[in-house]
Structure 1
Amino acid sequence: MNFDLSDEQKMLGEQARALLGDLSPFDRLRGLIDSGAEWDEPLWRALAEMGFLGVTIPEEYGGLALGALDLGVIMEALGGANAAVPFMSSIVLAAEAIRLAGSEAQKAAWLPKLASGEAIGTFAYAEGPGPVFATGAALQGDRLNGSKGPVADAGVAHVAVILVAGGGFAIVDLDQPGVTRTRLDSFDQLRPHYRIDFADAAAEALPGVGKLDRLIDGAAVQAAFEAVGAADACLHMARDYAMERQIFGRLLGGYQAIKHKLADVAVATELARSNAYYGGWAVEASSDDLPAAAAAARLSGIKCFEMAARENLQIHGGIGYTFEANCHFYYRRERMLAVHLGNRGFWADRLLTAQPGSQTKAA
């Protein structure tokens, strides 16, 4: 059995990293924060032109019809660059929800727009304190009432897939009367979150039922890929600094304690990468192992990114906490990703209760 990526997947990752290296350097991220921008629109257009937005969308809807591992190598590159784009919200969650549960008419209406970048989507599952996946918002006929929040990237989204009472999905055009978006304070300045209030907003039910577990398991795997890419970037940033910084007459990297820190991060990152690869395989194979594989990938991704972001700060010392340094981009993203789609406790429970051949309950 070959556990390596294919040549095509490696090339896809190289193309994504090259694009992000050119268009999303740290100075660009700092400029976005200074200007108050919610996202990097030119980068989003470039991702669309490369076909990355449609990587898992079927060909009949303008996509490339590739698999979860192909999507994963792109997510890993996005994580490494700390990119300020709504890729997780629009492609991994909203587009996938429509693909899994939408009618043919809904797919034809929205998937081509999401694949081309013409429209941006988001997925609204939370309702403040309480269950991770809450179903208080109510769809009665074609009218939606209730609130959702925090919702990532809702400020730039055109359409939202909403988790509604009964556990189903509704699709809502956000540019209409009856929809109010309120920006929330966000620790990650490059991934804004909003509360969305619905007051008799026009909406359509997605006819597919029982798709929530499959959606969040797939998204958990992609979040793990993003975490692995970011952790690897932190590891290399810390290593490069340690090989340049002089302290007490010798290189910082020459001290055994620093070597141990970097080695621990490297081991944790490789373990998380292996779990992400297995999770990607389980998604593509529709394996009975998917619930456990997704939970393991999510947990190891949270752990490796947390360790990498914190050790990167520690190795840089006081300068690492300044805005002019680059460590804070990853530390902020790590804190946000650690609770997105459920925190460590939520996924630990799913791992413990996952059984081959069955799906656990998301709410």
Structure 2
Amino acid sequence: MNFDFSDDQKYLRDEARKFLEAQCTIAEVRKVLDDDTLGHNAEVWQKVVEMGWLGAAIPEEYGGLGLGMLELCVIAEELGRVLAPVPFSSSAYYFAEAVKLAGSEDQKTALLPGIADGSFIGCLATTEGPGAISESAIRAQFRDGKLTGTKLPVTDGDIATHAVVLAKDGGASCLVVVDLRQDGVSRKTLKTIEPTRGHAEIAFDAAPAELLSSGAGNGMVALDQILNRAAVLLAFEQLGGASRCLEMATEYAKERQAFGRPIGGNQAIKHKLADMYVKNEVARSNAYYGAWALSTNAAELPEAAAAARVAASEAYWYASKENIQTHGGMGFTWEVDCHLYYRRAKLLAVQAGSPAVWKEKLVTALEAKNAA
């Protein structure tokens, strides 16, 4: 079986890389890092919107390009390479997929075109503090079309216009969609290890909300499906960052001279780079398997998504850490870009669930498969 991308998808990747390397430089990333008032780079975001990438996996009848999930995987990897400081994942991986999976026809018609053309920014609000997401941990309440409760941290919650929120409707979990620009919603920006991606605490005080049809009474089931899909896309974003870390470390090892020769000639550095390469390739193999399962809606998606998430989180963390080590003392400084990738690696590792959560999911999926 050939898991590689098609020629058209490779062309999309190449063009996306050229565009992002020109329009989303590290200088653009640092603009957000250096300004505490910014949660994203609005100029870069507008350029991404104009490329139409937000609608890559949104059907044409809802204003999207109708390309597919594989194309979205390609774009995700390239965004990860440049540390794009934009709310793309929140809008395209989480919010759009939640509406596509759990929304009614009317909700899809009302919301998806806004995501595709960039007039809406979406986010997913599930957690209410530390710990894994569970039925018993949900405190937010949805009653009579009103939502009350607090969610934190919410990625891109400081700039989002709409949110899909996990709540309780009576004794059952549900998913509701909320316009964050209306009365009854208040937000507080949170500080994290990665300032180039904004986070917020969002409080709902009898805020008008609308139940997502397929998320009624089985919100946790619907959320699990959404996270499985997002996990594959996040794995590609992590893979892009890990690949760039390996490139940075290799380039520096060839240029940096010590005792009259490049440090890349030292066996310890060679082994370090080789280990980074191996972990990246393992992550790529799992990500490609996940992309296949995602694009075909295969029954193997839960295990493929978990495997991709675990491998990509490990690869990115290791590559970002060893990139700093390869750069030596300079790698720890503010001026060198290594820490930017380390920050993003740590952030992405805990989005949509920590590696420990996904390892548990992988074990559970494999046990269920073997028992069948």
Shared fold per TM-score greater than 0.5: yes
- Offset at residue 281 of structure 1 (A): 0.7
- Offset at residue 67 of structure 1 (A): 2.2
SS of the counterpart of 1:323? coil
- Offset at residue 12 of structure 1 (A): 1.0
SS of the counterpart of 1:56? coil
Q: Are 2:167 and 1:164 equivalent residues in the alignment?
A: yes
Structure 2 partner of 1:317: 328
Q: Are 2:181 and 1:175 equivalent residues in the alignment?
A: yes
Separation of aligned partners in 2, 1:24 and 1:73? 17
Separation of aligned partners in 1, 2:139 and 2:304? 29
Decide which of 220, 244, 250 is 1:239's aligned counterpart.
Answer: 250
Decide which of 138, 142, 146 is 2:145's aligned counterpart.
Answer: 142
- Offset at residue 275 of structure 1 (A): 0.6
Structure 2 partner of 1:129: 130
Q: Are 2:161 and 1:155 equivalent residues in the alignment?
A: no
TM-score, length of structure 2 as denominator length: 0.94
Structure 1 partner of 2:16: 16
Separation of aligned partners in 1, 2:327 and 2:132? 38
Amino acid at match of 1:116: D
SS of the counterpart of 1:118? coil
- Offset at residue 66 of structure 1 (A): 2.3
Decide which of 241, 253, 260 is 1:249's aligned counterpart.
Answer: 260
Residues 135 and 164 in structure 1, CA contact (< 8 A), matched pair in contact too:
yes
SS of the counterpart of 1:43? helix
Decide which of 248, 251, 267 is 2:278's aligned counterpart.
Answer: 267
The superposition leaves residues 143-182 of structure 1 with CA deviations (integer Å, 9 ceiling, x where unpaired) of 0001101000011100000011233210001111211101
Structure 1 partner of 2:343: 332
Residues 68 and 281 in structure 1, CA contact (< 8 A), matched pair in contact too:
no
Structure 1 partner of 2:191: 185
The superposition leaves residues 207-260 of structure 1 with CA deviations (integer Å, 9 ceiling, x where unpaired) of 013422211001011111011000000000011011100112211111111011
Q: Indicate the percent of aligned positions where both proteins have the same amino acid.
A: 47
Q: Which runs of 5+ in 1 are unaligned?
A: 359-363
Give the CA RMSD over aligned residues.
Answer: 1.4
Amino acid at match of 1:199: D
Separation of aligned partners in 2, 1:287 and 1:273? 19
The superposition leaves residues 251-286 of structure 1 with CA deviations (integer Å, 9 ceiling, x where unpaired) of 111111101111111111111111111101111222
Residues 286 and 307 in structure 2, CA contact (< 8 A), matched pair in contact too:
yes
- Offset at residue 190 of structure 1 (A): 0.4
Amino acid at match of 1:22: A
Residues 132 and 357 in structure 2, CA contact (< 8 A), matched pair in contact too:
no
- Offset at residue 135 of structure 1 (A): 2.6
Residues 132 and 341 in structure 1, CA contact (< 8 A), matched pair in contact too:
no
The superposition leaves residues 179-219 of structure 1 with CA deviations (integer Å, 9 ceiling, x where unpaired) of 11011111001012111111000100000134222110010
Aligned length: 358
Structure 1 partner of 2:218: none
Amino acid at match of 1:208: S
Separation of aligned partners in 2, 1:18 and 1:163? 38
Residues 288 and 357 in structure 1, CA contact (< 8 A), matched pair in contact too:
no
Q: Are 2:53 and 1:58 equivalent residues in the alignment?
A: no
Structure 1 partner of 2:297: 286
Separation of aligned partners in 1, 2:368 and 2:99? 24
Structure 1 partner of 2:119: 118
Any residues of structure 2 matched to 1:300-311 within 5 Å, and which? Answer: 300-311=311-322
Separation of aligned partners in 2, 1:291 and 1:32? 35
Amino acid at match of 1:176: Q
Q: Are 2:215 and 1:215 equivalent residues in the alignment?
A: no
Residues 158 and 189 in structure 2, CA contact (< 8 A), matched pair in contact too:
yes
Structure 2 partner of 1:361: none
Separation of aligned partners in 1, 2:174 and 2:146? 14
Amino acid at match of 2:327: H
Separation of aligned partners in 2, 1:191 and 1:32? 9
- Offset at residue 357 of structure 1 (A): 7.9
Distance change >3 Å, CA 55–CA 140, structure 1 → 2: same
